[in-house]
Structure 1
């Protein structure tokens, strides 16, 4: 029997050795953290795929973790001089702070906040955003989601170059998921601890510590002031609010 080639991806892009990280056969966005990127196939967040961040609780640093990627996604749209590719926040647990997102490097005119009163409406909205193909990134917070809904999101993402991040509770790690990448996120001194729950490559048993820089805006005396205006519009049970500077 002939020996397998060193990189079995040359046979088919969906194949990889269990002892090696898979080579990304799609586009990726650098995480901005060298230690984390080194643990991900392709060296970054995959585009056109479902990525899950499983957090111990909202607000422990997941947005600062995504900061470099979100800034790159927004800047790429500007450099290419294409139509605007906004960053969409769907079912965010807190009201977005315009000053904080300015620090994240996301232009305010590219930030869209979507809320839905029902889970079904939120899932419908997520699919429509992906099918439109006009977003650079979609961050979707959801407590409970069925496996068939996960598959629909994953399939919808595959037809795009959108960075799709689904933020779920850490307890969801026990559930099966079609996501290409699943990371558990817990607070740690100076940043967060990242557990690689699922990736195309070998298992990693030790958590990875990622140091996060505190936001100078949030630490300032004016960090608690909401400096944004919201322009709501309603369609199909979904409220759209475009965050704009005052």
Structure 2
């Protein structure tokens, strides 16, 4: 016999706040999960300060997010990620409570240990994972995120497809460590499930120029200038050197048709026609 509606206990609909006195999320917890597109999200999950006050002010949660991907786009000819991420990575690796590694997956260049140590990143906590094919790179990144045992994950995935990034974002939602995807600038027009996307380029005075392409909040207008000198150069560079464009272009003699290249190592130093 069907039960009358009056005899059925009221059940809260999924996603709605429970009635007073019923178990469930508190009003404060529910409020933290709500945000308007015209305001920065408060980000209920923990965040890690970027080390740049101006950047923190523009990021939801006032720092690099955990439980989600951060995608950093830049030209393939430059490598600015260490200057941008070093302050936050130092904080993560310096936590005395537990020893956790920094995972580097498929970096395009061999990590320079003296340079990373000068940036405050201890070599004993760096784990370099070299994967040859895009499938191996993706698999290694996915396993690193799912393990949730690293202080942070940096993965260089130049050929990842949108559906693959969506899968990584799904796994990253359960990870308490920041996950950074480093990708070329020419994928900017592709869709991405990463909740945070940044475009990065070098500027004068050894500054980093950064534009927030996507965030949980209003559109970011213009570019930010972050003073981020390479480790150890603050005491070495004169004011004149600081005012020069980065990277400096050496003065080269014009190449003529009669120029004879006798050594293979001389070829990259000459400007091609």
TM normalised by structure 2 equals 0.72
Contact 2:33 2:43 in 1 (8 A): no
1:184-223 per-position Cα deviation (integer Å, ceiling 9, x unaligned): 0011112211011000111012111111122227998xxx
Backbone CA RMSD of aligned residues:
2.0
Contact 1:30 1:43 in 2 (8 A): yes
Contact 1:30 1:44 in 2 (8 A): yes
Alignment coverage as a number of residue pairs = 209
Q: Which residue of 1 aligns with 2:46?
A: 27
- Unmatched runs of 5 consecutive residues or more in structure 1: 1-7, 221-246
Is the counterpart of residue 211 in structure 1 residue 230 in structure 2? no
Q: Aligned equivalents of 1:209 and 1:184: distance in 2?
A: 12
Q: Aligned equivalents of 1:127 and 1:25: distance in 2?
A: 24
TM normalised by structure 1 equals 0.80
Q: Aligned equivalents of 1:28 and 1:179: distance in 2?
A: 15
Q: Which residue of 1 aligns with 2:92?
A: 73
Q: Aligned equivalents of 1:218 and 1:209: distance in 2?
A: 17
Q: Aligned equivalents of 2:73 and 2:172: distance in 1?
A: 19
Flag as ranges the 4+ runs of structure 1 deviating above 4 A. 8-14, 217-220
Q: Secondary structure at the match of 1:41?
A: coil
Q: Aligned equivalents of 1:26 and 1:215: distance in 2?
A: 31
Structure number, greater radius of gyration: 2
1:103-136 per-position Cα deviation (integer Å, ceiling 9, x unaligned): 2222111101111111101111111111111101
Equivalent residue runs for 1:49-88 within 5 Å: 49-57=68-76, 59-76=78-95, 79-80=96-97, 82=98, 84-88=99-103
Q: Aligned equivalents of 2:107 and 2:231: distance in 1?
A: 19
Q: Which residue of 2 aligns with 1:110?
A: 125
Q: Which has the higher contact order (CA 8 A, sep 6+)?
A: 1
Q: Aligned equivalents of 1:31 and 1:112: distance in 2?
A: 22
Q: Which residue of 2 aligns with 1:185?
A: 200
